[in-house]
Structure 1
């Protein structure tokens, strides 16, 4: 029985008239994950007084209505046009705002580790509906018995990547506090030639050979249908600052003196990749791919303007044999990851756009398994995706009643999905939110910490 009771669903529209137009999306908006991505923030009790609960809801809705004026495309709807391509209809249809109550207290949630309870705290997206009937953004305010509350967002990845979604959230919070907009969003996608025809034929598109390949399958399998069906579980694992530094030191022991030191992301992600291979029991000759999300904003020439709103993060793929990852030093895994990241240059982005513009149909590049399709790329076994929020300002989001007590990625239940977040202590710890098939999780946790302890003892 659910602990959450839904009190109402409201449509919040822009407070003032906004542009009504069809906006072409860039190729980067239309590949990879095009479903909704959830995040959730929990806040301390302000008061158990019912009038105060109503004040929170009305303040949030009023600020949201004002935020949707500059962020007007978020009040629109996506439309399929042809050949697996999408367009955004800026029609002011609005954002869904759900109000709910929970019979639990924040204390009942313990350390806020992902659980089935989260499913009731994050707005549900009904993917059986046509895409043009789905809001681009859905929000849920859940009031807890103790007077605390959570605010969760489900945001279409076809319209916003992580930095853009966070930009909207922070500006909405700013308006809720009674302050003015700080950074206006820029929706002009001409930098990525959105909606324009190709400049060259496919035969002249010199994309990197690994840029648009589908990740490998398990040895002996001809598809990933069975792997997609397997039951998964989610954990959040913490690395202390000392453990992170140990991984960086271990990674850089095999780094040549001429190379830049491996970063926190490269070191931790290399460790996660190796550990997943061990936990899954891969054969030495099992090919495995790691999806790495790279923000191209500062890699473009010139860099994208501040406030660019859309998808400027794109996936690049690191590949290896599982046997090499496990048998070689951690620095080897890091070197494969760095090689993938450093591919993302202005030329890489622009040639990728030309390649995609020449495709007859984009659907094979879209991660649609959340809505029942098996066409898109699958980063489950034997593969992995590690998204970094390490440098995003995800903490300290204050809507007027103080900063959050916890923020997390909401629900992620696809094998191989993982996310790195900075620890909320601000002292250098790192959190890994990870989804794996149930039989692999305990072994993963064992190796994840055991291998760091081995490294620490070797360095003593």
Structure 2
């Protein structure tokens, strides 16, 4: 349904000195894969798309001057780590045409139909150093709409960094000056590691984060990895979110008889609701241990915050552990309290200790490979566990390439069981969209509990 018209390698518009760029332990921990996202637009007139590919190509070349790590390549090193060579090999820009209309994508659930709007990446058969770190595809639809599908190397950028790049690229495409430059010096992390106050910091160990619980009665997660998964797109209105939040806060007040502590946030309450509903849908043994991970941005949680436009990964996985029987028998405020406490623990000493913990791991491959059936040593974040990534607060809907802001955006895929995204509504009405991936046998039960238990 998507026809390729042309593809271009786009290099920085100005010469960039070739060099090896330091990668932090946060960069080294994430999977050597690409984060994918598709932006949908509905221009008011066809004239706005005149020479759209040429505009994107020229503006991308300009944007890659400031964001030149995205034009480089990764190379394998010992211990599963990688090296970033800023060698201006360039990004890939693809132009495509589709007979579909934007409305044909329904609720924009990340399906293979959505994935076709992003250039394919063959990680299994292509040497790492031959894979571009940035791939983009402009697809024009029969209705006059258009999409920009992006694949950005997770090693190079997290959500904040990726949105910063797209925002500046769009600014250049509109003919404006890009004046919000990224901070590229990742050696700043070496200072945090060297200054680590080991005498006072939490003594975090690898076991604090991994390995993860497996289902009772199973010796490993291998059987769970093989099960068929399915993606879905759920939505919570502002009123539904407030119902969930008010329930958790009211229960907490009744238990503690005080309102001295800050109330649960929307994110915490919704996460707790999902955790309870999912453990119910998965029909866990009451004695089953389960872990909920929250991918936490810590840019502003350090005593000396990272520069505002730090370009790289500044995210760590924050685990919250519980016994399913407790999750189900206790009120929503119980799960909310556990998540809130885990998040509030992410402060300067915690982050520094985490960085040193990761630095001391001689082999990082096992923590980079998620759910690969052929990778028994890899992490499995699925049943009985789950992991959240929130895109709230990233400024997602500011990527106007001259066609207006996006009418919607969605991940290109949700790769494995137990993975969920939380995405704000494009119209700013306070609602949330939740694309997720679950084992097919649990998806219907989860949807029922998700809405019935509000």
Does 2:447 align with 1:449?
no
Give the deviation of 1:152 after TM superposition.
0.8
1:140-289 counterparts in 2 under 5 A?
A: 140-193=137-190, 206-207=203-204, 211-255=208-252, 256=256, 257-289=259-291
CA–CA distance in structure 1, aligned partners of residues 276 and 92 of structure 2:
41
Residue 377 of structure 1: aligned partner: 379
1:357-376 counterparts in 2 under 5 A?
A: 357-369=359-371, 372-376=374-378
Give the deviation of 1:376 after TM superposition.
2.7
Give the deviation of 1:370 after TM superposition.
5.8
Give the deviation of 1:373 after TM superposition.
2.9
CA contact (8 A) 1:389 1:421 kept: yes
2:75 paired residue among 74, 79, 82? 79
Residue 4 of structure 1: aligned partner: 2
1:108 paired residue among 95, 100, 104? 104
1:10-89 counterparts in 2 under 5 A?
A: 10-45=8-43, 47=45, 55-89=51-85
Residue 94 of structure 1: aligned partner: 90
List per-residue Cα deviations over 1:348-400 (Å, max 9, x = no partner): 11112222222221112213446953433221100000111122211132101
Give the deviation of 1:4 after TM superposition.
0.8
Q: Partner of 2:94: helix, strand, or coil?
A: strand
CA–CA distance in structure 2, aligned partners of residues 292 and 196 of structure 1:
23
Does 2:127 align with 1:130?
yes
CA–CA distance in structure 1, aligned partners of residues 403 and 230 of structure 2:
33
Give the deviation of 1:313 after TM superposition.
1.1
Residue 456 of structure 1: aligned partner: none
Residues 14, 369 of structure 1: alpha-carbon distance in 2 compared, 3 angstrom cutoff:
farther
Q: Partner of 1:19: helix, strand, or coil?
A: coil
Q: Partner of 1:68: helix, strand, or coil?
A: helix
CA–CA distance in structure 2, aligned partners of residues 81 and 394 of structure 1:
34
List per-residue Cα deviations over 1:108-135 (Å, max 9, x = no partner): 2233233331121122111021211111
Q: CA RMSD for the aligned pairs?
A: 2.2
TM-score after normalising by structure 2: 0.93
Residues 21, 93 of structure 1: alpha-carbon distance in 2 compared, 3 angstrom cutoff:
same
Residues 199, 294 of structure 1: alpha-carbon distance in 2 compared, 3 angstrom cutoff:
closer
CA–CA distance in structure 2, aligned partners of residues 101 and 46 of structure 1:
19
CA–CA distance in structure 1, aligned partners of residues 373 and 69 of structure 2:
23
Give the deviation of 1:157 after TM superposition.
0.8
CA contact (8 A) 1:207 1:352 kept: yes
CA–CA distance in structure 1, aligned partners of residues 277 and 205 of structure 2:
28
Q: Partner of 2:321: helix, strand, or coil?
A: strand
CA–CA distance in structure 1, aligned partners of residues 241 and 445 of structure 2:
20
CA–CA distance in structure 1, aligned partners of residues 299 and 115 of structure 2:
33
CA–CA distance in structure 2, aligned partners of residues 374 and 70 of structure 1:
40
CA–CA distance in structure 2, aligned partners of residues 170 and 287 of structure 1:
41
CA–CA distance in structure 1, aligned partners of residues 162 and 353 of structure 2:
26
CA–CA distance in structure 1, aligned partners of residues 144 and 373 of structure 2:
35
CA–CA distance in structure 1, aligned partners of residues 82 and 319 of structure 2:
24
CA contact (8 A) 1:293 1:315 kept: yes
CA–CA distance in structure 1, aligned partners of residues 422 and 102 of structure 2:
24
Structure 2 segments unaligned to the other structure (5+ residues): none
List per-residue Cα deviations over 1:148-171 (Å, max 9, x = no partner): 110011111111111101110111
CA–CA distance in structure 2, aligned partners of residues 209 and 254 of structure 1:
34
Give the deviation of 1:63 after TM superposition.
0.4
Give the deviation of 1:335 after TM superposition.
1.0
